[in-house]
Structure 1
Amino acid sequence: MKQNTLSEDAKTEDTSIGSSKLKAEENYKGCKVLLISEVKQVLSQMDVKPNYMFLVNTINVDDAKKLFMTKVRIDYKNSELEYLAAEIAKKCYGLPMSIVTTAKALKNQNHLVWRETLKTLERQKLTGTPEYSTNLSYQLLENEELKCTFLLCACMGQDALVSDLVRLCIGLGFLEGIYTVREARDKVQILLMKLKESGLLSNSYSISCFAMQNLVRDAALLTASEEKQIFMLTKCKLDEWPDEDKLEKYTAIFLRQCDVNTAEFPGNIRCPKLKVFHFDNNHHHFKILGNFFQEMKELRVLILIGVDISELSSSIKCLRKLRKLCLEQCINLDDQLCINIGELKNLRILSFSGSDIKSLPVALMQLSKLQILDISNCSKLEAIPPGLISNLTSLEELYMSNISTEWESHDNASLSELGNLNLSNIDLQIPSIDRLPKDLFFNNLHSYKIVIGSSNRHLEPELNVPEKYELLRYLAIREKDGAFALVTI
């Protein structure tokens, strides 16, 4: 257990902020940044001096063989595997990433798989490019569960959050024998570990994230498009939608930070096989027309970010198989929309994070299967009816920081209701220590972030307030003298 007490007065001056920033910069003095590019012109455009550029040659045949055998973990006693290793390594043409990825794919595989791999390379005149290595690793993954997880990782972008992957997997419901969020988290961590061992994923800057090489992602997205009929665009301009025959085959559509004009967005599209629709548009508060989702009856995951959803009440009501609904940073969430959401009986995950919702309707009590509720950063949320949260009997994770709700006033819910739930993870801000229930429902919590007292953004950097998705035990209490007592476990 670590405990710190910070004086508020000592942190309120602008000069203190400048001083702390200066110290932070001094700590990084002398650090070096390594930039890698396949095109020299890219580095030149970044004003990298010529004497700081180094050309890295490909690996020679002998070193390629040694690297391959090291990664695949075989010795020189098996002459057949040694021969196959040497021949396959040659096909990688000295590219370290191809050598490593191919070797990890063939590790622990039968020698017949090695032979077939070499024959395929020779017969089709393929080289061990990263694309081929990635596809080989993908084809040799042990089951469909692992393959689906890998393709989802590719669709999520660089340094994606593990928690977002967990929610996506729960939403799609393809994890065998998994029923709770805690079980899903553990399962996803195992799947990520296996993908990292195969060379398809790598560690990110944080344990809360995972990373994927761009060349691996490009190959994975090609596979996702061809095998799973997934349509993916990131930071692009969508000039026109795919043809109707393609839309009818798609199982997922991801539009991430794309430029889509209102005139180019159809009023309705027919996607009878679609299970995921993710839309994050660069035009803030883009309006989607009311009938847009009516012919997506198989939809399991719907993610809308920064959208005006004033016309979607009837359309969302049709999505009876929906398991994950995220309306984040959205505007015009009216009461009728929320009432219709209450009819989505299969919903496991519901997020209004950052949206302008003003009150939670009693109709949400009907969501008996709901496991994750996120109403964090809803600055206009004032009303949570008594008994609403306590009636969500399947709820495991609750995120409700930075909201303006006054607990136990104006017919609002009571914090004591949380003690009736089997919560394993909570992110909560309590305005006053006087509002604390006698039993602070810590018994079953696996992870929590609780701030007691009025928020003070000026202090947050010093308190090192964790992200809501980080799994840890964190309690900050604002004391009478204005200081904060910080406890992390």
Structure 2
Amino acid sequence: MGNIFSISASCDTVITRCCDCVAGQAQFVCKLEENVEALKIALAELTDLRNDVIRRVKIAEDQQQLKRLDQVQGWLSRAETLINGAHLLIEQSPQEIKKLCVGGCFSMSPKSNLKFGKQITKMLRDVVDHKSKGVFDKVAEEEPTPLVTERPTEHTVGLESTFDKAWSILEAEQVGIVGLYGMGGVGKTTLLNKINNKFCEPPNRFHVVIWIVVSKGFYIGKIQDDIAKRVGIADGTWQDKTPEEKALNIFRVLKEKKFVLLLDDIWERVDLSKVGIPLPTQKNGSKLVFTTRSIKVCGQMEAQKKIEVRCLPEEKAWELFQEKVGEETLDSNPCIRELAHELAKECGGLPLALVTIARAMACKNKVEEWKDAIEVCRRSSASVFPEMGEEVYPLLKFSFDSLPNDMFRTCLLYCSLFSEDYPIDKEKLIDFWIGEGFLDGHGNTSLARNQGHQMIGSLLHACLLEEINEFRIKMHDVIRDMSLWIACECEEEKWRFFVQAGYQLTKLPEVQNWGSIRRMSLMKNRIENLVEAPNCRDLQTLFLNGNQLKVINNDFFQFMCGLKVLNLSGNRGIEELPVGISKLVSLECLDLSYTGIRQLPIELKALEKLKCLNLEYSESTIRIPRQLISTFSKLQVLRMFRCYSLGQEVEDNSECLVEELKCLNHLNVLTVNTTSALGLDSLLRTERLCSCTLAIQLLLVKDSKRLNILSLANMKSLEFLDLGKSESLEEVEMEWGGLGRMIKAQSHIETSVIASKHCFQSLREVFIYECSKLKDITWLILAPNLRQFNVVDCNNMEEIINKRKLSQVAELVETLTLFGKLESLFLQYLPELKSIYWDTLPFSCLKEIYVHRCPKLKRLPLNSNSAKENKISIRGEKEWWKELQWEDECALNDFLPCFTGIHFPSHV
């Protein structure tokens, strides 16, 4: 009986479990519709949370330059997978729900419904569970500091043996501090560059290599700030710390690392303990290498090894001189090569002198010119240059004296007003030269600007200036030293400079004789208030840019009636100009770019001689009083890019600014914004304003779906186009006929412009962003000289050049080398981008490709021939690079060394 009872009980349990199982299985079917609805809600919540996390990550990466956490990236990747899977199930759910009957309790296809119901239930559980894991205190952190940052170097002559000696000393464990000394221009910085880059090569036993330019007049805080940035401790509270606190923080980090510290251009002892640098010893294995012009400084820095960087031996000096003069000039006359050899000897083997003098003689093909150059170098007196001795300044001054006339010499000296190693904007420099009256285009402002560019080109050719890129230049520190000696210390009445740029001044310096100064630079200091009114009636140029100005007293300009150029740019703290600025009745150039100025005072009307006014990139939109701009009847340059929009006066039912601009007969350069079709239309209807517009930011009105790019065709000088923040723009058209759906037909557009086909000959840069419906930018074919274009945050951008659209204007392509002048291509946050161009392109000028968050872009228009002309740097996510498709294995191998990962995963 017991056994029977036991069996019976077991059967009941089995039956109960079977019933539960059946009931449980039935739940997958009975609750299918309910679970689908629950999944939709959970999916929406997960999607919102995913978007919030992405937004936080984007801010951290783009604005704070941080790197997302791996756990955040893992969560986002899993969320993306779940969202895609859930969407797929929800799309399939209507078909499965149709198979249910009797209120969802029965199914006409139970096997299919059961399987689908299980999938829905599991997906619902996974989505809810994953959503609960998506709460993060932080989503990103600072990237690990790279071991070493490679620095650009040029081909060198004669430094090889010195480099080998320095490197072998650095490899010795017992040597911690090495000093490289030698006269200015001998090649110390070049040698330090080569040492820095040598650390890029494996194996490397150091944790970090830090490069810092010290220069004359340094202060501890700058070195501390540079080190903090390099090792990643310059957080938001860094600037609030005292020098002592900064030193402790730096010491705490560096004592745990085996570091290499490279200090360039030391003029006096740097107290390592005050900076926070642990003394390099054999025990900690760290190294300090510095360059200086004085062997005395080597002793002060306790260098264990001192290496003199000497001038080149005669053979190497002649090799360098020949290279820079050029064989064509040397062979232009049978006597010149011998004279050139003699002149090269006069340079004493100093590389900088060899290069500058060789450049100065590169176009001289008359024997008399070479003989005169030799005599000038021989006559140079050592006593004229007591600080640098007879070896340097007299030789460099030869190039200065060899300039065609005083105008060239003045323009060169003017560059020394900028702080050491400062990147000088060419266009701004020309504005200042115009303001000073250096450039005379005989009333033609366009000719004057061309003259300015020619002047810069001549100074570059003479190696007295160095080109950073197409838009910026700088002075070599030794050339600047020489220029300042001539401009500040020579007794010649015509120069009279006073320069204390980057000296960390907190107030105006005490100057013995303000009245004798003609040009003064106090840029890049910490001056906050200008209270006292200095008596400097002869002052013509005053640089106060890059300070911390907040207040300028009304009387400050009282005794500056002769001032022609005033540079206040980069003072974000200054919000208003004093009414006393009206005293500057001789002012011809006023630079207020990158300031906090909110409104121009009406008192500016007194500046009737004003030729150049720069308001660009202000902290807020600047209000301009009516009838102020038209007062400046001599105005040649007006820069208002990203500070004032033509849409402002449209809102007031007026087109007053454009009407005022029409009165400016000498206006030659205009940069402007517009936020309305009416504002742009009023600009385009004035042919003279179109012809002088160099840059325009076009922020289209919300209902603008189409833009005919040829409405801008009359802007013959347009160099920069900023097109963005248009959620409705769907199409950029190229219609030769009725121009303008966004802007009404422009009957004034010349047929000659249209016939020329390549309308945008001057266009160099294009920036397109936040045009969410735009699918292509094929119109770029109309800009044959385009150097750079950036496309950012265009969610529906599918291709850069559309094949069908290009075929419709096929006649343009016959003589056009697409992107033949392009140097930089920047693509970011383009989730639908699949193609730049469907075929390969030669890219003879391309230097850089940057791709970030373009997951569907699987091909670049490159092959092996694209790499022959020049080396192209490619930056992007490593995952994106791995998935790129190439024409063949050879192309991949050619470009593999060109790629650098930016550590941002592509799939989000």
Q: TM-score range by the shorter chain?
A: 0.7 to 0.9
Seen in structure 2, the aligned counterparts of structure 1 residues 211 and 125 have a Cα distance that, compared at 3 Å, is closer
Seen in structure 2, the aligned counterparts of structure 1 residues 136 and 67 have a Cα distance that, compared at 3 Å, is same
Look up the equivalent residue of 1:386 and give its one-letter code. E
Tell me the equivalent position of 2:659.
390
Corresponding position: 1:472 with 2:728: no
Deviates more, 1:344-353 or 1:56-65: 56-65
Tell me the equivalent position of 2:467.
203
Corresponding position: 1:312 with 2:578: yes
* In structure 2, distance between residues paired with 1:224 and 1:288: 28
* In structure 1, distance between residues paired with 2:288 and 2:561: 60
Look up the equivalent residue of 1:428 and give its one-letter code. Q
Tell me the equivalent position of 2:408.
146
Tell me the equivalent position of 1:254.
521
Deviation at 1:76, TM superposition (A): 11
Corresponding position: 1:420 with 2:673: no
* In structure 2, distance between residues paired with 1:125 and 1:290: 43
- 1:288-437 paired onto structure 2 within 5 Å: 288-305=552-569, 306=571, 308=574, 310=576, 312-313=578-579, 315-331=580-596, 333-334=598-599, 338-353=601-616, 354-356=618-620, 358-364=622-628, 365-378=630-643, 383-384=648-649, 386-392=655-661, 393-394=664-665, 395-401=667-673, 415-423=681-689, 424=692, 425-432=694-701
Deviation at 1:123, TM superposition (A): 7.6
RMSD (Å) for aligned C-alpha atoms:
4.3
**Is this contact kept in 2: 1:478–1:485, CA < 8 A?**
no
* In structure 2, distance between residues paired with 1:484 and 1:93: 59
* In structure 2, distance between residues paired with 1:320 and 1:51: 54
**Is this contact kept in 2: 1:449–1:473, CA < 8 A?**
yes
* In structure 2, distance between residues paired with 1:329 and 1:400: 15
* Percentage identity across paired residues of the two chains: 21
* In structure 2, distance between residues paired with 1:388 and 1:207: 32
* In structure 2, distance between residues paired with 1:31 and 1:295: 49
Tell me the equivalent position of 2:888.
none
* In structure 1, distance between residues paired with 2:553 and 2:486: 32
Look up the equivalent residue of 1:270 and give its one-letter code. N
**Is this contact kept in 2: 1:151–1:221, CA < 8 A?**
yes
Deviation at 1:340, TM superposition (A): 1.6
Tell me the equivalent position of 1:37.
189
* In structure 2, distance between residues paired with 1:380 and 1:421: 19
Tell me the equivalent position of 1:465.
none
Instruction: Give the gaps of 5 or more residues in structure 2.
Output: 1-50, 68-142, 154-187, 197-208, 212-259, 262-285, 291-306, 728-761, 784-908
**Structure 1 residue corresponding to 2:717, chosen from 446, 450, 464:** 446
Tell me the equivalent position of 2:511.
243
Corresponding position: 1:136 with 2:398: yes
* In structure 2, distance between residues paired with 1:50 and 1:480: 52
Tell me the equivalent position of 2:315.
62
SS in 1 for 2:524: strand
* In structure 2, distance between residues paired with 1:479 and 1:243: 55
**Is this contact kept in 1: 2:623–2:644, CA < 8 A?**
no
Seen in structure 2, the aligned counterparts of structure 1 residues 34 and 322 have a Cα distance that, compared at 3 Å, is closer
**Is this contact kept in 1: 2:441–2:448, CA < 8 A?**
no
Q: TM-score, length-normalised on structure 1?
A: 0.76
Tell me the equivalent position of 1:459.
none
1:143-168 alpha-carbon deviations (Å, 9 max, x no partner): 12211221223323533111111211
Tell me the equivalent position of 1:114.
373
SS in 1 for 2:591: strand
1:178-204 alpha-carbon deviations (Å, 9 max, x no partner): 544432332222112211221212221
Tell me the equivalent position of 2:773.
481
Deviation at 1:281, TM superposition (A): 4.6
1:86-143 alpha-carbon deviations (Å, 9 max, x no partner): 4543343322112121233345262442342243147869877443332111111001
* In structure 2, distance between residues paired with 1:340 and 1:86: 62
1:291-315 alpha-carbon deviations (Å, 9 max, x no partner): 11121111111121315364611x2
Deviates more, 1:122-131 or 1:302-311: 122-131
SS in 2 for 1:399: strand
* In structure 1, distance between residues paired with 2:639 and 2:581: 18
Deviates more, 1:67-76 or 1:224-233: 67-76
Tell me the equivalent position of 2:476.
213
Deviates more, 1:65-74 or 1:249-258: 65-74
1:7-36 alpha-carbon deviations (Å, 9 max, x no partner): xx9xx87778979999xx9xx999943575
Seen in structure 2, the aligned counterparts of structure 1 residues 152 and 362 have a Cα distance that, compared at 3 Å, is same
Look up the equivalent residue of 2:685 and give its one-letter code. G
Deviation at 1:231, TM superposition (A): 1.5
Seen in structure 2, the aligned counterparts of structure 1 residues 121 and 482 have a Cα distance that, compared at 3 Å, is closer
Tell me the equivalent position of 1:268.
533
Deviation at 1:207, TM superposition (A): 0.8
Tell me the equivalent position of 1:463.
none
Deviates more, 1:48-57 or 1:181-190: 48-57
Deviates more, 1:163-172 or 1:353-362: 353-362
Look up the equivalent residue of 1:216 and give its one-letter code. I
Seen in structure 2, the aligned counterparts of structure 1 residues 62 and 134 have a Cα distance that, compared at 3 Å, is same
Considering fraction of residues, name the structure with more helix: 2
Matched positions, count: 447
**Is this contact kept in 2: 1:277–1:301, CA < 8 A?**
yes
Seen in structure 2, the aligned counterparts of structure 1 residues 477 and 415 have a Cα distance that, compared at 3 Å, is farther
Deviation at 1:438, TM superposition (A): 11
**Is this contact kept in 2: 1:260–1:281, CA < 8 A?**
no
Look up the equivalent residue of 1:347 and give its one-letter code. L
* In structure 2, distance between residues paired with 1:344 and 1:316: 9
Seen in structure 2, the aligned counterparts of structure 1 residues 319 and 366 have a Cα distance that, compared at 3 Å, is same
- 1:60-209 paired onto structure 2 within 5 Å: 60-72=313-325, 73-74=329-330, 85-107=340-362, 108=364, 110-121=369-380, 129-157=391-419, 158-204=422-468, 206-209=469-472
SS in 1 for 2:451: helix
Tell me the equivalent position of 2:37.
none
Which of the pair has the greater relative contact order for Cα pairs under 8 Å at 6+ separation? Answer: 1
**Is this contact kept in 2: 1:299–1:322, CA < 8 A?**
yes
SS in 2 for 1:147: helix
* In structure 2, distance between residues paired with 1:51 and 1:243: 38
Deviation at 1:417, TM superposition (A): 3.8
Seen in structure 2, the aligned counterparts of structure 1 residues 67 and 366 have a Cα distance that, compared at 3 Å, is same
Look up the equivalent residue of 1:445 and give its one-letter code. K
Name the larger-Rg structure.
2
**Is this contact kept in 1: 2:503–2:525, CA < 8 A?**
yes
SS in 2 for 1:192: helix
Seen in structure 2, the aligned counterparts of structure 1 residues 120 and 343 have a Cα distance that, compared at 3 Å, is same
Seen in structure 2, the aligned counterparts of structure 1 residues 278 and 198 have a Cα distance that, compared at 3 Å, is same
**Is this contact kept in 2: 1:347–1:369, CA < 8 A?**
yes
**Is this contact kept in 2: 1:475–1:487, CA < 8 A?**
no
Deviates more, 1:162-171 or 1:343-352: 343-352
Seen in structure 2, the aligned counterparts of structure 1 residues 296 and 175 have a Cα distance that, compared at 3 Å, is same
Instruction: Give the gaps of 5 or more residues in structure 1.
Output: 1-8, 457-469
* In structure 2, distance between residues paired with 1:482 and 1:14: 25
